[in-house]
Amino acid sequence: MKKLNVLAAVLVCLVLSSGLAMATGLRTEFKDYDIKAVDDLFVGKNVKAIWTLSYSNAETPVTVVKRKTFEGTEYVVHSKYFEVCYLSSTNGFGTKMLRNSWRNVPKKINNAVINQKEFEKQEIITPNKVNDERALGLIASYLPFLINDGYTHLLN
């Protein structure tokens, strides 16, 4: 009888843990993504290119804006609820603090969505300077990890 109770407890734990994994949004669902260049927009003199990045048939994909600065090439990811900046320079490629003048989302909301520990981990994704294609691929691959578990639905 005791073995049956232990087996039932293990079974319940397995079912509950798999349910929790589904509730937090597994990161494997972000393996497939689509990047499209945005053409025919007046983007200003500092903006060099714009792309949309979507992980599914999302109605509102995130936007990636490429800007040349004195530090290197900055790729700013904008959405309705969060923003993050990636820098490609001679020191490598990774996250950096977004300039306040480029910010559209209030800091309080952005800080709730972005995982600060993961942001710090991604400060150097690669020590090499990267081109647009590589930068967009790295952004698409690493961006989902920046989003706190309760907000991963923002990418779908």
- Residue 50: CB atoms within 10 A of its CB come to 17
DSSP state of 114: B
Q: Which two tokens stand for residue 39?
A: 């053409």
Could you tell me the two tokens for 109?
């909301």
> Do 94 and 124 meet the contact criterion of CB atoms below 8 Å apart?
yes
Lowest-confidence segment of 32-36, 87-91, 111-115, 137-141 by average pLDDT = 32-36
The residue ranking higher by pLDDT, 46 or 136, is 136
CB 99 within 8 A of CB 83: no
pLDDT, mean of residues 7-31: 45
Q: Exposed e or buried b for every residue in 30-46, given b needs 16+ CB within 10 A?
A: beebebeeeeeeeeeee
pTM as predicted: 0.75
Mean pLDDT over the full length of the chain = 80
Residues in the chain: 156
Q: Extract the tokens encoding 3.
A: 């073995």
Residue 65 has a pLDDT of 94
pLDDT band of 27, cuts 50, 70, 90:
very low
Question: Which pLDDT score is estimated for 54?
Answer: 85
Is residue 144 within 8 A of residue 27, CB to CB? The reply is yes
